[in-house]
Amino acid sequence: MKNPLTPIKAIIKDIRPEAEGVKTYTLSTEFSFVAEPGQFNMIGYPGVGEAPISLSAIMQVGDSTLRDGSFKHTIKSVGRVTDFLKDFKKGDELFFRGPYGRGWPVKKAEKRDVLIIAGGLGLAPLRPVIHLILNSRESFGDVSLIYGARNEKNMLFMDEFKIWEKDISLYITVDEVSDVSKSPHPPFTKEWSGGINVGLVTDLLDRVKIKPERVIAFVCGPEIMMRFICRGLMMHGMSQSSLYVSLERRMKCGIAQCGHCQHSGLFVCKDGPVFSYKEVRGLPDGVL
Amino acid sequence: MTGERTFQKFKRLIPKKAFLLWLDSLKKDYKLIGPTKTGRHAVFKEVDSSKELFMEYETTMLSPGKLFLYKPNEELFRFAMNGKITIDEIAPIAEKQIITGVHPCDVNAILYLDRTFLRTFKDPHYEARRKNTLIISLNCARVSENCFCSSVGAGPFLHAAGGYDMLLTNFESEYLVEIKSREAEELFGLEGRGAGQDEMRFKAEKEKSMHGKFKKNINVSGLDNIFAENMEHHIWQQTAEEKCLSCANCVMVCPTCFCYDLRDEMSMDLKTVTRYRCFDACQDMKFAEVHGGNFRQRRAARLRQFVTHKLGQTNQYGVLGTVGCGRCITWCPTGIDLTEITKEIQKFKVKS
């Protein structure tokens, strides 16, 4: 019997620098890889280990970009595995297994307004949702992306913003301006060049028209950011059960065995990583 | 493994000597594993003869399930690193084995491990061993100092519906033998004398008298909520500061703790990488660490994770995570007792 922990070989088709210390790897394997938005793979290399990395693009019905069954991971080098990956070149082999986990409830979002809220690297697991919406735009109501990064050097997928903003409303902000000469004077949340604001991502919530009964929100970013976004959205009248968050935990197996990602009886790898806010709000050992 | 087909369950009284001889007769086809006496302690290990068995043992440090089914260390793959990397999957070894003298708590612990390793994603090593292992349970005749199985429904007599093969109850010079699986039925050729209502009544009385002998008792009703409402109870911080060493003894001796780490080891000639799995512990500082933070940085949080995973968090598998074997209490070098922590929190609940 096949061991579910057996890794699968993948070839790096393309690598592109995305932001400071962040690269997007396009991978392909012998079979056509299919996943759902919000799922992740365990990415690794023999002798180095494995790390859970969300998919930042996947083959979807009607998607013209990845019809060949390849898939993308947008990875920041921060740990043993991701540091090792940063020296990889096009054509190199690496290993993965997956897809794992429960992704974003995109079916539930149909016919509704969608708020996509991301902080920093948190935009990566949400990009497949954006692609899916753009591919069947008529199935959704008003769609807004609120995205914040530390500064413009840390901002992901900026080259796609122009395509995205044709169909969805973009609200972009940076915590700080890396080039001080371009900095606007306080108060924050003023528009800066290129339609980018300065201030925390939570500040932008007031800019978006939220019809609480129509809207569903997908939120991904640092846990502390998700806490304040969810609480902010609840102040706008949204219910906990229409807010979804994606959690990050240490994982070794991805298949609900190794126990590292356990969160009050939940396996983040299997029961998540996407949860409704209702399921995870206020649990111990988290800040939601 | 049991329960696939119907079979003739039967109950017989067998002289102990005859039973042990029957075990010896199986040696040609099975590895025989059971409790043995080593110094002051009892240890589950492979034996050459039933004469080595120490069926009167009270408890062991390590449970048979985490020695002979879910192994502390397991090689999974070998990667050959010659230009193009190839993977050798290490095939599960399916040696036939009998584990005898398994106390009810440890049978229930094996059923708990089944939930981790035989559900959505099956572990082939565990599954192969589980299929090739005959489990002979032995109802307890003694209560150890730290046992609290009677409070959590895991002992001292076994009531699990399936997942084991035979059940023994001590009847002086005989065992009451209850056959629970087809495989056991086919293997067990001893006639003995049939056990009727009188014997079953006698068994029930034995069980009842055992329940009265427990020194540790705990009320587990509503514990999920009681813990959830008292996550910042001072007992967590206090115990962590005054006693807990984060040594992870509790996890290592726990028969239900299933967490593991995956590790890679490269050969000296750099040509082979072995990926293996080994026990890991939530008490370890790095266990829940991610880039930029650690979800259980505080020792109190790690201690709380262990205790609530055993006695709360039933949302995970629908059952308690403890079988009341008391090993974590026995082997804690500073005497932390999860039943005492729970009682302290329950006291607080009543007051508030």
Which residues from chain A sit within 8 angstroms of residue B77, using beta carbons?
3, 5-7
Which of A213, A261, A219 shows the shortest CA–CA distance to A112?
Answer: A213
Q: What is the least distance, in Å, from the CA of B248 to any CA of chain A?
A: 15
Say yes or no for a CB contact (<8 Å) between B120 and A78.
no
Instruction: Pick A250's closest partner by Cβ from B124, B290, B305.
Output: B290
Alpha-helical segments (H) within B3-100: 16-25, 65-68
Residue B1 pLDDT: 46
pLDDT band, residue B9 (cuts 50/70/90): confident
CA atoms within 13 A on the CB side of A254: 23
Residue B349 pLDDT: 58
Which residues from chain B sit within 8 angstroms of residue A83, using beta carbons?
none
Say yes or no for a CB contact (<8 Å) between B262 and A258.
yes
d(CA B215, CA B337): 13
Kindly state the percentage of chain B with pLDDT values over 70.
Answer: 96
Residue A223, classed as helix, strand or coil, is: helix
Instruction: Pick B288's closest partner by Cβ from A250, A265, A266.
Output: A250
d(CA A269, CA A284): 18
Q: What is the least distance, in Å, from the CA of B231 to any CA of chain A?
A: 7
pLDDT band, residue A186 (cuts 50/70/90): very low
Residue given tokens 């356990």 in the structure block: A262
Residue A193 pLDDT: 53
Q: With a cut of 50, say whether residue A188 has pLDDT above it.
A: no
pLDDT band, residue A71 (cuts 50/70/90): very high
DSSP category for residue B122:
B
CB pairs under 8 A between A and B: 119
Interior CA angle at B337 toward B115 and B106, to 5°? Answer: 35
Residue A68 pLDDT: 76
Rounded to the nearest angstrom, the gap between the alpha carbon of residue A236 and the centroid of all alpha carbons in its chain is: 23
pLDDT in tens, B125-162: 999 999 999 999 999 999 999 999 999 999 999 999 99
Which residues from chain B sit within 8 angstroms of residue A263, using beta carbons?
295
Which residues from chain A sit within 8 angstroms of residue B304, using beta carbons?
284
d(CA A233, CA B152): 42
Taken in order B56, B59, B65, B70, the sign of the CA dihedral is negative
Please measure the distance between the N-terminal and C-terminal CA atoms of chain A and give it in whole angstroms.
40
Say yes or no for a CB contact (<8 Å) between B120 and A3.
no
| Mean per-residue pLDDT, B181-208 | 93
Q: With a cut of 60, say whether residue B316 has pLDDT above it.
A: yes
Say yes or no for a CB contact (<8 Å) between A257 and B121.
yes
Q: With a cut of 60, say whether residue B3 has pLDDT above it.
A: no
pLDDT in tens, B15-66: 999 999 999 999 999 999 999 999 989 999 999 999 999 999 999 999 999 9
Residue A185 pLDDT: 47
Looking at the DSSP assignment, which residues form a beta bridge with residue A244? A218, A276
Q: With a cut of 90, say whether residue A189 has pLDDT above it.
A: no
d(CA A169, CA B8): 69
- How distant, in Å, are the alpha carbons of A159, A280, A286, B262 from that of A122? 17, 18, 17, 26
pLDDT in tens, A17-67: 999 999 999 999 998 899 999 999 999 999 999 999 999 999 865 555 666
Looking at the DSSP assignment, which residues form a beta bridge with residue A252? none
Kindly state the percentage of chain A with pLDDT values over 90.
Answer: 81
Which residues from chain B sit within 8 angstroms of residue A3, using beta carbons?
76-77, 89, 123-125
Which residue of chain B has the CA closest to A262?
B288
Residue given tokens 């329940």 in the structure block: B211
Which of A36, A120, A110 shows the shortest CA–CA distance to A71?
Answer: A36
The token pair at A239 is 């219910």
pTM of structure: 0.94
Which residue of chain B has the CA closest to A248?
B290
- Is any Cβ of chain B less than 8 angstroms from the Cβ of A78? yes
d(CA B84, CA B73): 28
Which residue of chain B has the CA closest to A251?
B288
Say yes or no for a CB contact (<8 Å) between B309 and A265.
yes
Say yes or no for a CB contact (<8 Å) between A252 and B87.
no
Q: With a cut of 90, say whether residue B82 has pLDDT above it.
A: no
Q: Are the beta carbons of A208 and A171 closer than 8 angstroms?
A: yes
Q: Which of B44-53's residues contact partners 24+ apart within 8 Å by CB, and which partners? A: B44/B68, B44/B99, B49/B24, B50/B20, B50/B21, B50/B23, B50/B24, B51/B20, B53/B20, B53/B23, B53/B100, B53/B101
Q: Return residues 24-53 of A near B (CB < 8 Å).
A: 46-50
pLDDT band, residue A187 (cuts 50/70/90): very low
- Is any Cβ of chain B less than 8 angstroms from the Cβ of A264? yes
Q: What is the DSSP string of B302-319?
A: HHHHHHHHHHS-TTTTSS
| Mean per-residue pLDDT, B120-128 | 95
Say yes or no for a CB contact (<8 Å) between A250 and B314.
no
Residue A175 pLDDT: 87
Q: What is the DSSP string of A60-116?
A: -TT-STTTTS-EEEEEE--SHHHHHHTT--TT-EEEEEEEESB---HHHHTTSEEEE
pLDDT in tens, B210-232: 999 999 999 999 999 999 999 99
Q: With a cut of 80, say whether residue B335 has pLDDT above it.
A: yes
Mutate to test the interface with B, among A29, A225, A260, A271 (most CBs of B within 10 A): A260
| Mean per-residue pLDDT, B254-270 | 97
Which residues from chain A sit within 8 angstroms of residue B296, using beta carbons?
285
Which of A38, A71, A98, A36 shows the shortest CA–CA distance to A255?
Answer: A98
Which residues from chain A sit within 8 angstroms of residue B123, using beta carbons?
3-4, 257
Which residue of chain B has the CA closest to A285?
B295
pLDDT band, residue A184 (cuts 50/70/90): low
Which of A117, A138, A151 shows the shortest CA–CA distance to A222?
Answer: A117
Q: What is the DSSP string of A126-188?
A: GHHHHHHHHHTGGGSS-EEEEEEESSGGG---GGGHHHHTTTSEEEEEESS-SSGGGPPPSSS
Instruction: Pick A252's closest partner by Cβ from B262, B289, B296.
Output: B262
Instruction: Pick A257's closest partner by Cβ from B258, B264, B312.
Output: B258
Say yes or no for a CB contact (<8 Å) between B260 and A253.
yes
Residue A132 pLDDT: 94
Interior CA angle at A109 toward A107 and A111, to 5°? Answer: 105
Provide ipTM, 2 decimals.
0.94
Say yes or no for a CB contact (<8 Å) between B301 and A284.
yes
The token pair at B73 is 């260390």
pLDDT in tens, A218-270: 999 999 999 999 999 999 999 999 999 999 999 999 999 999 999 999 999 99
Residue A176 pLDDT: 82
Which residues from chain B sit within 8 angstroms of residue A222, using beta carbons?
292
